[in-house]
Structure 1
Amino acid sequence: MMVSLSDKVNYSKVRLKLHWGFSVAVPRASKAKAAFPLPPPTTLVGALSYGLWRGKDYTPDGKGSPASELHGKVYGAARFGDGTYGVYIEDVVRNVVSYFQKPERRSKREYTFGIVPTGKVYSSGELVVVYLSSQLSTGQLEKLSWSLVRVGSKEGLVSVEDVELGEASRVEGEVTTKFYFPSYLAHEESPFLRQVTFWEGGVVWGEEGKDVNYLIPLRPFPLESVEVQVRAREAYEANGDVVVLG
C-alpha cells in the first residue's frame, strides 16, 4: 500500500455509471491482453489525475505519467455497485503489433497489424469507487471526482452519478467488505475470492512497478461483488463501505 495516511483521512465515494464497461490490461500484457475484473488502485488514481492534467499524456518534465502527481497521496478501491453484474470477454481486436516483431520485420507492412485477444468487462451498471487521502482536502477530492470521465482504456467512458465526501473512520480487526484487499491478510474461506496481481508504482518511465497480490470478493459469472470477512490491520470506513489497506 503505497500511500501516506495520517490521523485524519478524507474520503470521496464516487458512483460511476458505466457506458459499456471497461478494460484494464494485466501487468506485462503484450500479444495476449488479459484484463482485470475490476480497476486496480493505480488505474483509479490515474483516472482521478485526469482532472489535473486534462489532455496531457506526460508530466511537464516528460518523466512519466500525470498520475505520478498523485502517487503516494491518494488510494483508490473499486467494487461493482449493488445490483450490478458484469461479463468478462476477450474480444478479437486488430492492433499494431510491429513492436513485437524482430527488428528486421518492423518496417514491413505485412507485420504491422495482428489479431490480439483483448480482455474487457461488459456491464451497463455502476462502479463504486472510494478514494482515501490525508494530503488532499475534501474540496480537492470533490473537484477531481466530478472530473472523472473514463476508467482504464480511453474507450472506458463513465458518467459520475454522485460524489459523497467525508472523513473516514479507521477500523481494525474483523471487518466485512466488498472491496479487494491484500492477500496476506487473514480472511474467511470463500469460493468467491479471486487472487490477482496488481502493480504499485511504475508511474515514472524506466521504473517498473512492484507486484502486489490482492484478493477480490467476486462471484465469477456473472461478475458480482460479494461480501467477505477480513481481519484487517488498517481499514477505513466510509459511510458503510469498508476499504482494507493492510
Structure 2
Amino acid sequence: MDEAALREMLDAVRSGAMTSDDAVAVLRRLPFADLGFARVDHHRALRLGMAETVYAPGKTPEQCAAIVAELLAQPGSSPVILSRADDEQAAAALAANPGGARTRATVVWRPAAERAERVVVVTAGTADQPVADECACTLAAHGFRPVRISDVGVAGLHRILDAVEELATADAVVVVAGMEGALASVVGGLTAAPVVAVPTSVGYGASLAGVTALLSMLASCASGITVVGIDNGFGAACAVVRLLPSAVTTRV
C-alpha cells in the first residue's frame, strides 16, 4: 500500500464506489501481514516512499515466492524487488508470480513509471559491473533510467575526463569502485550533483576485500560524498531514491 493507493481508496469510499467494509478489509492487513515465517511490511511505502524489498539470502525459494506474492497482492504501484536471489530462488518467485524481469541476482515486478531525473552510474572497472548492475536495476525499478559510464577508473584518468559533460548534467551520480576507491573523489570534484559512493570488494591483497576503498571514500577530500557499504549497489540506489523524492512522496 503506497500513498497514491491509499488516497485512491479513500476517494472511492467518499464517492460510494467502495464500501467502508471493503476499505476496512484492505486496511486490516496494514501495517503488516503475518505469513508465519515473515511479517511483510505493507506500511513501508507510506512511511518511507519505498516498499519493502525481499532480501533472498537465507530464505527458501518457497518463502521468496510467498513474500513476493503477498507484496504484489496489495493495492498500489510500488515496485516489488527480490534482491540477491540465486537461480532457484528467482525461478520459484517468477513461476509463482509471472511478469517479473530478472537482471543477474535482482528480480523486479511492477516497476514504477519513468521519472525525469537523470541519474548516472559510474564504474571504475569491468569487475565492478555486478554491483553497478544491482544499483541500476534497483534505480530502474523506482522509475529512473540510469545512464551508465563504465570502465573509467583513475589508472586512465583521461577516460573519466571524457565524461565531464554527462556528469555535469546529472541530478545524482553513483560511483562504484574497488581497489583504492579513488574514483569517488575524482567524480566528487567534477559535478555539483549528489554523489553516492559504493566501495567494492574488487582488488589485490592490500585492498582487503573492499575495506581500503571504503575507508578511502569515507576520508575523501571531495565534500559531501555519501558512502554505502561494500558491494551494496542496492543501498546506493535507495540513497538516490531518498535524495530525489518523487512528487508523490514529497511532503508539503
* TM-score between both structures, scaled by the size of structure 2: 0.20
Between structures 1 and 2, the one with greater strand share: 1
Q: RCO (CA 8 Å, sep 6+): is it higher in 1 or 2? A: 1
Between structures 1 and 2, the one with greater helix share: 2
